[in-house]
Amino acid sequence: MLHRNIWHEYIQRILVVVCLVVVNADVVAAQDKKEKSPKPNVVIIFIDDMGYGDVGFNGATGPRTPNLDRMAAEGMRFDDFYVGCAVCSGSRTSLLTGCHYQRLSMNPVLFPNSDHGLNPNEVTIADMLKESGYKTACVGKWHLGHLPPCLPTYQGFETYYGVPYSNDMWIDPANKLADDILLREELTLDEVKAGHKERNLVPLMRGEAVIEYPADQKTLTKRYTEESIRFITENKDAPFFLYLPHTMVHRPLAVSKNFENRTGELIWDAIEEVDWSVGEILKTLKSLGIDEKTLVLFTSDNGAAVGSSLPLRAKKGSVYDGGIREPTVMRWPGTIPAGKVCREVAGTIDMLPTLAGLCGGKLPEKKIDGKDIKSLLLGEAGAKSPHEHYALMHKEGTVRSGPWKFYPWKEVKGKKASKDSVPSQEPVQLYHVVNDIGERDNVAAQHPGLVRKFQMVFDAHVAEITANRRPKQIMTRPENPSASANLANRKSKASKPLNWGKIKLGDEFQSRRAPKIAGRAFRISATVKGDEISGIVLAQGGELVGHSLYVKDGNCTFSVRLSGSKLHRVKAPLGNGKSKILARLDSKGVLTLQVNDGEAATAEGGLIKKHPAESLSIGHDAQKPVDGDAPSSAFNGDLLNLKLELIGN
């Protein structure tokens, strides 16, 4: 009996050891499987100027977006998803680096005549993933520097195909031209090398060289899609990162033949073609059997310019939600729960640290501002936003915290919630954006404690960023004799003042020829003649900064735009016959307008801090209007004389 008990105990001990070995083996195997699990492919589709209300899953009734709606059903919508800037370059900086663009000393918008771009010493998503073994490609609009060393090929992308900046810009003669460049619209190589420049005619690049000029904008969405599919197909067996920042739906709008006149509205046609592109990308992933291995993010760089940001307040250029809160979907079948909606605050600034965790990447040594939102993306129970406060310095600034949105500035007439609303007299603004998605009811007076708290948060944010800015990169111009000579000619011509005595209707002068009004007081004097006069007398600028003098409905109007949403006007009646007009912006920023000997009208404004990049137009407005209320027609009267001159030193 004793021997039997000993034997029984011995058998039990052996079974325990065996169980422990099996369990430990399972743990090791699971850990080993986790460590050896394939890294997900990453596709970021970044639309230009597409608003919150431009997609079906957010209630759009004009354009049809079946592929995006299906993507939302198969993935997760992020309903409170923000970008880092309400315009192009700042927003792209934030996405790719995980930093506020001000920290990297970047401008909100770069132009072909800008001399700087994103510093290649900064770590981009592409840099991080390339180091982690990924193949990387950028297909589409770059807009972070169009010359070395700021091009995508210096920023972690192995290949680049696309337009280097916004499609309403022009070509820089310093850009390298490919030997087999395709020239369109009857342009010659000599004309291009001599510095041909025209708005809305932009180059198409591959790598670091221009391969087509001007780019056929009607086919860009289609060609970007084809290039993206080719990259995905060629790299289906290795982890890859595709960054697809579409040129559309930025103005000038254009669509391929299959999408022309589908809806009756060009903006809706363009949205539908972008939706088609998304569908083609998803279809390719499925056909290659890598759908469940691929994380796809769809969002926009800022609010709508032409389309809809409803029901949010405002549009592109504004830090109200309509300018920076974007339609966003993330899809990764089998990993991201399908059909869910995340209502926690997150943003493009969070993608670099989040992808570092998901893809085995290494975070930059330098400070970044984004947070890891993996728990939100995976739909973990009780997951919360890592942002107690999401502050932006763009323009006048804002802070989003939980359901609250704070603005450390007074609501003004030009930025009121709707046509029939009356601006609040409170010195700051506070909205509960969950209950008041349109930001109509300023409740700052009811919550003084929150106002004090958010003001301190914003002030601390500005102070920290300002104290820790990092340098942007000066771009180098290649040793191109034609380009260098052209630039030298530009500089010599820039010093020549305009001969106002020879000015006539229809004239247009490049920005460099116009008086340098940045930070300066100036006056415009003109004599016009005619009955029922209407049209632009003089204009320079666009939706960023500028000034305009025009006649409409019997009134003369002088407009000054200080920034995207800061527009100031002063009006005075204009009779028939001959009229002398004097418009003035004084050193204190006050607008004055006087017609003949009538009473001078005045309005508060400010000095224009940046010289407009657009041409100075006489008798018309050649680019985007400075003032949306100005007539689009050319001036129909006689222009007897005109002069714009600076005041003071």
N-term to C-term CA, the chain = 115
- The rounded distance, in Å, linking the Cα atoms of 607 and 562 is 7
Q: Containing H/E element for 464?
A: helix 448-467
Reported as a pLDDT band with limits 50, 70 and 90, residue 491 is: very low
Q: What is the pLDDT of residue 84?
A: 98
Length of the chain: 649
CB 76 within 8 A of CB 336: yes
Structure tokens at 444: 């700052």
Query: So where are the chain's domains?
Result: 1-37, 41-467, 496-647
The CATH topology of domain 496-647 is: Jelly Rolls (2.60.120)
Q: Which residues pair with 161 in a beta bridge?
A: 139, 206
Share of the chain above pLDDT 90, in %: 79
- The rounded distance, in Å, linking the Cα atoms of 354 and 371 is 7
- The rounded distance, in Å, linking the Cα atoms of 522 and 545 is 15
Strands 390-392 and 116-117, how do they pair? unpaired
Rounded to a whole number of angstroms, the CA Rg of the chain reads 28
Match 């003042």 to its residue by tokens.
497
Q: Is 524 left (phi over 0), alpha (psi -120 to 50) or beta?
A: beta
CB 141 within 8 A of CB 203: no
Query: Across all residues in the chain, what is the average pLDDT?
Result: 90
DSSP string for 63-132: S--HHHHHHHHHSEEETTEE-S-SSHHHHHHHHHHSS-TTTTT--SS--TT--EE--TTSPPHHHHHHHT
- Check 85, 99, 138, 143 and give the catalytic one: 143
| 266-287 helix and 220-234 helix, angle to the nearest 10 degrees | 10
Active site residue 100: no
Is residue 610 scored above 90 in pLDDT? Answer: no
- The rounded distance, in Å, linking the Cα atoms of 244 and 43 is 7
Reported as a pLDDT band with limits 50, 70 and 90, residue 35 is: very low
pTM across the whole model: 0.72
Match 């006087």 to its residue by tokens.
594
Q: Which amino acid is at 432?
A: H
Q: Which amino acid is at 292?
A: E
Is residue 16 scored above 60 in pLDDT? Answer: no
| Of 266-275, 423-432, 481-490, 632-641, the least confident | 481-490
Q: What is the pLDDT of residues 332-352, one digit of tens each?
A: 999 999 999 999 999 999 999
Q: Which residues pair with 643 in a beta bridge?
A: 525
Q: What is the mean pLDDT of residues 275-288?
A: 98
Q: Which amino acid is at 91?
A: S
Active site residue 342: no
Q: Which carries the bigger pLDDT value, residue 624 or residue 256?
A: 256
DSSP state letter for 328: -
Structure tokens at 211: 């391969």
Reported as a pLDDT band with limits 50, 70 and 90, residue 476 is: confident
Cα–Cα separations (whole angstroms), residue 556 to 272, 573, 632: 41, 6, 15
Backbone φ, ψ for residue 298 (5° rounding): -120, 125
- The rounded distance, in Å, linking the Cα atoms of 130 and 158 is 9
- Check 85, 88, 99, 359 and give the catalytic one: 88
Match 């995980």 to its residue by tokens.
98
Q: Which residues pair with 626 in a beta bridge?
A: none
C-alpha of 573 from chain center: 39
Q: Which CATH superfamily, name and number, covers 41-467?
A: Alkaline Phosphatase, subunit A (3.40.720.10)
